[in-house]
Copies of this chain bind each other. A is one copy, B any other.
Amino acid sequence: MKATSKQIAEMAGVHRSTVDKVLHGREGVSDEVRARVQKIIDELDYQPNPIGKALARQNNPLIIAVLLLDVDAIDEIKSGISDAYEELKNFGLKLEYYVNNLDNRTEQLYSLRLLAKKKLAGLIISPIRDPEIVKAINSIVDAGTPVVTINTDVPDSKRMCFIGQDAFSAGRVAGQLMGEILGNRGKVAIITSSAELLGTLERQQGFEAVISDQFSRIQIVEIIETHEQALPTFQKTLAMLNSRDDIDGIYITCGNVSEVCRAVRLLNKEQAIKIISFDTYPEIVELVKSGIINFTIGQNLHAQGYRSLKVLFDRVFNNKEPDSAFVLTKIDIFLRENISLN
């Protein structure tokens, strides 16, 4: 029922290898024949059989480059990618990992230029948000290599899609959780980073939107910027809690969660103050288990990694694009009772 390249060849009165050339836009076919074959392909909506492709590919695999940033999230993302790879490696697929420093735009640019010279079937990247990076990504896409962004995005580029969390919505979820456990009353402090890269601003804005819309009796009374630095995070939190005795909740959009908690515990306020954070790194898991953190919101990093390779594979092997340019992973809510079941 489903057409094969052989059938297409018969219909067009040419050889299968000619059909193959047309399919892959390779040269060595006259314009006339190419048009004839292409027409039949289109009419039948022919989709090459992936298993057949795979078998022929196995000893000559396609290369997919993975360019990640050296941040806490990297391990879980990698484990997701590697799980997907286990499923797909038999199709004739090879991964090449590259890791760049978060703060070093030049380094990522260098990696991208290196990759541009190679024959890549696809690229998965956590981009630094920067015009030069966008340009470099675009030139890779223009050369015919599909690009998927993961965890961080450059929406103004030609990347095929972004795979990650909607930080604004996640902030909204945090806002509602805070509203519920405070029973719509009390004063809240926000600890945030000010760096845009990790979506902390969106997390803050989503939170603020829900509080102001739906929890009118909760006030956001302090906003502390940490610039992702450990010691200042501790010091500023401590100073804030010392200067006022009326904080009922703390919302942390950024890293150094344990520094915030350290300040809270030093003042013996862990019972009095409700804390909501992001991510599920080991130290955060411990803080949730011990009851210091009430809720933490997960990004489902494993799923981000897993999906990114699956989506890219679908494009490369089956020529299928995702329905949306934004493949959003679930907003997971964790508290003591489910954080270990992860």
Point out residues on A near B: beta carbons under 8 Å.
49-52, 54-55, 58, 90-91, 166, 169, 172-173, 175-177, 180-181, 183, 210, 294, 328, 330-333, 335-338, 341-342
Contact = CB atoms under 8 A, between A and B. Distances in A.
A341 B169 contact: yes
A331 B335 contact: no
Contact of A294 (B173, B180, B328): B180
A138 to B, nearest CB: 30
A175 B337 CA distance: 9
Nearest to A183: B183
Majority secondary structure of chain A interface residues (helix, strand, loop or mixed): helix
A333 B336 contact: no
Given A169-B341, A341-B328, A335 B91 contact: no
Contacts of A341: 166, 169, 328, 330-331
Copies in the complex: 2
Contacts of A172: 337
Nearest to A91: B51
Given A51-B54, A172-B337, A181-B183, 15 more contacts: A49-B58, A51-B55, A52-B55, A169-B337, A175-B337, A176-B337, A180-B180, A180-B335, A183-B183, A210-B337, A328-B341, A330-B332, A330-B341, A331-B338, A332-B333
Closest 7 CB pairs of A and B: A333-B333, A173-B337, A176-B337, A172-B337, A51-B54, A180-B181, A51-B90
A187 B173 CA distance: 26
Among A51, A58, A183, A330, residue most surrounded by chain B Cβ atoms (within 10 Å):
A51
A124 to B, nearest CB: 19
Contacts of A328: 341
Nearest to A298: B330
A73 B52 CA distance: 37
A207 to B, nearest CB: 10
A338 B172 CA distance: 8
Contacts of A335: 173, 176-177, 180, 333
Contact of A338 (B90, B173, B338): B173
A210 B336 CA distance: 11
A336 to B, nearest CB: 6
Give the interface centre of A58, A90, A332, A341 by most chain B CB atoms within 10 Å.
Answer: A341
A328 B341 CA distance: 9
